[in-house]
A and B are shown apart, each in its own frame.
Chain A
Amino acid sequence: QKEVEQNSGPLSVPEGAIASLNCTYSDRGSQSFFWYRQYSGKSPELIMFIYSNGDKEDGRFTAQLNKASQYVSLLIRDSQPSDSATYLCAVRTGFQKLVFGTGTRLLVSP
């Protein structure tokens, strides 16, 4: 079992819709959860992180964490074609390193 699992996609949504990206993790001791966005050939960029159960909102982005279910998600409201990228879920387990999933490719069509 992979430590962090994501559906590779692609996830296709029309412009203006809500994109929902999901991630599960195996280590119950995981402390912090991150969403990175990576455009093709570019560096991963941190979108947001979450520590506590519940929702955390930042602009059009909402991260949701459910530690009991070992599940973290990212919602993107009013999706734009410029949101088309690979979204990487990452988990920190108490050490100064992140464990990444393989990423979900998101395609937003005009």
Chain B
Amino acid sequence: EAGVTQFPSHSVIEKGQTVTLRCDPISGHDNLYWYRRVMGKEIKFLLHFVKESKQDESGMPNNRFLAERTGGTYSTLKVQPAELEDSGVYFCASSPPPAGANVLTFGAGSRLTVL
């Protein structure tokens, strides 16, 4: 069984540019989460999808971040325009219904460096 796949593994962009991160969850996993780890800090929740619906986006930092999950399969997280403080590792995780947050499988993460 394929795990959670994230792309790209590392992205280096300049302040003001746009980056789109992609996550392919495990097949059949309705729940999809985005988390972020900024250097030296803890992993923090960004948002939660159930299929294509946003269930909780309370962790999204501001309106420069846009997450989508069209069709309830893969998800994208766009940062536009990127700022220096957006640098960090963005993790995607998925779980099957009804496990929810109790049994998360994480991807390897997408490291974002904003210069």
Contacts and interface: CB of A to CB of B under 8 A. Distances in A.
A73 interface: no
B101 A92 contact: yes
Interface size class of B (residues with CB under 8 A): 20 to 34
Contacts of B102: 32, 49, 92
Given A92-B102, A95-B56, A43 B43 contact: no
Contacts of A4: 42
A22 to B, nearest CB: 16
Contact of A43 (B41, B58, B101, B109): B109
Given A96-B31, A96-B48, A97-B48, A44 B43 contact: yes
B35 to A, nearest CB: 8
Given A4-B42, A96-B31, A43 B106 contact: yes
Contact of B45 (A32, A41, A97, A101): A97
Interface of A: 2, 4, 32, 41-46, 49, 88, 90, 92, 95-103
18 contacts: A4-B42, A32-B101, A43-B91, A43-B106, A43-B109, A92-B101, A95-B56, A97-B48, A97-B56, A97-B58, A97-B101, A98-B101, A98-B104, A99-B42, A100-B35, A100-B43, A100-B44, A101-B42
Given A46-B105, A102-B41, 16 more contacts: A43-B3, A43-B107, A44-B43, A88-B43, A92-B101, A96-B33, A96-B55, A96-B100, A96-B101, A97-B33, A97-B45, A97-B48, A97-B58, A98-B45, A100-B42, A103-B42
